[in-house]
Homo-oligomer: A and B are copies of this chain.
Amino acid sequence: MSHDPLIESPNLIIKALSHPDHELLAPHLERVPLERDDVLARTNEHIRHMYFLEGGVASMTALSADGERTEIGVIGFESVSGHAQVLGSDRSPHETFMQIGDTHALRIESGRFAAAVEQSQSLRQIVLRLIHTSMVQMSQSAVAYARFQIEGRLARWLLLCRDRTETDDLKLTHEFMAAMIGARRSGVTLALHVLEGAGLIRSARGTVTIVDREKLLDLAGDSYGLAEAEYSRLIAPFGLPRSA
C-alpha cells in the first residue's frame, strides 16, 4: 500500500472527495494565503488556478461599462472558484475576488483540474452538482435584485457571509455592502439601523454582528436558502438547520 499524502482541509469539497479522487488531486494542490481584495479570476482573462477556499468569502461580480460592480454570487469553504474552466471556457466575463480574507485556500492549476475532471466521473459529478447549486444561487441573486428592497437584500447578503465564514462578526464597511447589494451607502446605513433596532444585528465601525439569524432568515424570505438546500441535497450537509 502506497503512502497516501492525504490533505486535511476545512473545504467541504476536498472533504467530500472519494479516496481515489483525493489522490488524483492531492499532488497538485498548493496551500496559499488569501487576503481581502485578492483576485481569483480576472474579467475575460485566462483562469490560472482554481481555489478551494478554506475560509472567508469570495464574490463573483459582473462589471458594467460605467465601472459599477454587481455581485452575482459568492463562494466560501463549501465550493471552489473558476467554474467556467470546468464548463469548457478558460475565461469568464466575471471577476472573482476575496471580499472577506485573512484565510487560506488550496489551489490547483486550472488545466490540471480540468484534466482530472475529465478523467474521473465521480469528481465530475461533484463539481457539476456544485455548478448547479451556483446557478440556483445566482438565480436567487436575480430574484433578490428584482423583488426585494434594501432591507431584504441586506439580510440575504449578511446570511450568505455568515454561513460561509461561520462567524457572527463580519468585518465590512457600509460602502462595501452598498456596492454588493446594489444600493447607496446611505441606504445601507438606514437599513442597518432598522435591523439593529429590531435586534437582528449590532453594528459598529467596520463590523456587523449577527445577533438573530432566524429573524434574518425571515426577512430574506425566498431569497436565501434554496441554493444551500440544493447543496445539502446533492453534495453534503451545509449550514445551520432552521430551528423550526
Stretch from A3-11, A81-89, A98-106, A160-168 contacting the other chain = A81-89
Q: How far is the CA of A142 from the CA of B165 in the complex (A)?
A: 24
What residue in chain B is nearest A84 (Cβ atoms)? Answer: B132
Q: Cβ of A83: which chain B residues have Cβ within 8 Å of it?
A: 135
Interface check A70, CB cutoff 8 A: yes
- The digit string for A125-158, where 1 denotes a CB below 8 A from any CB of B, is 1001101101110111111011100000000000
Interface check A186, CB cutoff 8 A: no
Q: Quick check: B142 and A70 within 8 Å, CB to CB?
A: yes
Near B by CB (< 8 A), chain A positions 20-61 give: 60
How many whole Å from A86's CB to the nearest CB in chain B?
7
Q: A87-B132, A118-B121, A143-B72 are in contact. Are A65 and B138 (CB under 8 A)?
A: no
What residue in chain B is nearest A125 (Cβ atoms)? Answer: B88
- The digit string for A73-92, where 1 denotes a CB below 8 A from any CB of B, is 10000000001101111001
Q: Quick check: A182 and B64 within 8 Å, CB to CB?
A: no
Partner of A222, one of B65, B140, B141: B65
Q: List 8 A-B contacts (CB under 8 A).
A: A62-B222, A64-B222, A68-B147, A73-B139, A88-B129, A131-B131, A138-B139, A145-B145
What residues of chain A have their CB less than 8 Å away from a CB belonging to chain B? 60, 62, 64-65, 68, 70, 72-73, 83-84, 86-89, 92-94, 118, 121, 125, 128-129, 131-132, 134-136, 138-143, 145-147, 182, 221-222, 226, 230, 234
